Amino acid sequence: MQTHAHDMTRRRLGEGLASLALAVAAGGIAPLPAAAQSSTPEAGQQPTGHDMSVTPPHWIGKEQIAFLIYPDFTALDMIGPHYMLTNLMGAKTHIVAKTKDPVKSDTGLVFVPSASFEDCPADLDILCVPGGTLGTLTAIRDEATIRFLKDRGSRAKFVTSVCTGSLVLAAAGLLDGYKATSHWLTKALLSKFGAIPTEGRVVRDRNRITGGGVTAGLDFGLGLVGELRDRNYAEGVQLLAEYDPQPPFNAGSPEKAPPEVKSMMDAMFVEFLKTAEATVLAARTAKP
């Protein structure tokens, strides 16, 4: 991760820094100065142009990050960590689908992928799989999708998921023998797929990191930013995201939700869970 900060900045800054990316590239917002160190503008520069050579070199990386998307995936599963991880200066993020055709999420959002399975870099630093419901099971039944995950997952520095994305990882055999989590509804199922269901909103075991349902992706993504840079850097990203959550209700986990609310959710997913189990098991026993 030690790079020539100055060169990296000129070349790559526009690819990181989330909402700042294009703003910084366009010269309208000053790039990240060093923490607790005043910037020293070079003579002749724009007044907004900090001398980025004061940025700690380890703040600038070159990660290759890929998010898998597929029809009827849950967009927030992906966008939460995507926001956090695209704030990694120097990182390059890919939205990867089977083809480059537009992909519709389960809430009707239509995304244009940036890469197909063929275009996706062979060696990834982070591979992340978002979840969903029936769409996720359809993805699991797709041989090309499983083949892609087995390949990239065999070499990725971090193999990760949010929500029921862990079912897809499990279907590809990528959680065998690993502690993991999933959406609370599907977490117990993991034990049938070679994984070890484990307490925690974000569960890490060696290079596997799995998040709980939907919004857990924010906590997963921010934690990974802290690991890949440092605490100050992640705190800056958290402040930029104004991630100081104040949910108006207190029902965000099966333990906290009123029993009748949990029962309602359980009732809705009875058939889904049966289908999910059968689908993942079938994928795991299919010929490679």
Between residue 190 and residue 209, which ones bind a second copy under the rule CB under 8 A? 201-202
User: Is residue 110 a contact point for a second copy (CB under 8 A)?
Assistant: yes
Single residue of 8, 68, 72, 280 touching a second copy by CB under 8 A = 72
Whether 128 is a known active-site residue: answer no
Exactly one of 3, 6, 18, 121 binds a second copy (CB under 8 A); which one? Answer: 18
Question: To the nearest whole angstrom, how small is the minimum distance from the Cβ of residue 99 to a second copy?
Answer: 14
Taking CB under 8 A as the criterion, which residues in 248-277 touch a second copy?
248-249, 251-254, 256-258, 260-265, 267-272, 275
Which helix (H) or strand (E) element contains residue 232?
helix 231-240
Question: Nearer to a second copy by C-beta: 173 or 224?
Answer: 224
- The interface with a second copy within residues 219-248 (CB under 8 A) comprises 219, 222-223, 226, 231-232, 234-236, 238-248
Helix residue spans in 18-164 (DSSP H): 21-25, 75-85, 134-140, 143-155
**Spatial CA neighbour of 152 closest among 193, 121, 178, 176:** 121
List the catalytic residue out of 76, 163, 168, 203. Answer: 163
Q: Is 188 in the site for a second copy (CB under 8 A)?
A: no
Report the distance separating Cα 163 and Cα 213, nearest Å.
Answer: 4
Q: Name the one range near a second copy by CB under 8 A: 82-90, 117-125, 144-152, 191-199.
A: 82-90
Phi–psi pair at 76, nearest 5 degrees: -65, -30
Coil/strand/helix, residue 88: coil
At 230, list the tokens: 């440092």
What stretches of the chain adopt beta strand conformation (E)?
A: 64-68, 92-97, 103-104, 110-111, 115-116, 126-129, 158-161, 179-180, 196-197, 202-205, 208-211
Tokens for 81? 């960590």
Distance in Å, CB of 181 to a second copy, minimum: 10
- Number of shown-chain residues binding a second copy (CB under 8 A): 98
Residue 179 binding a second copy, by CB under 8 A: no
Which residues belong to the active site?
A: 163
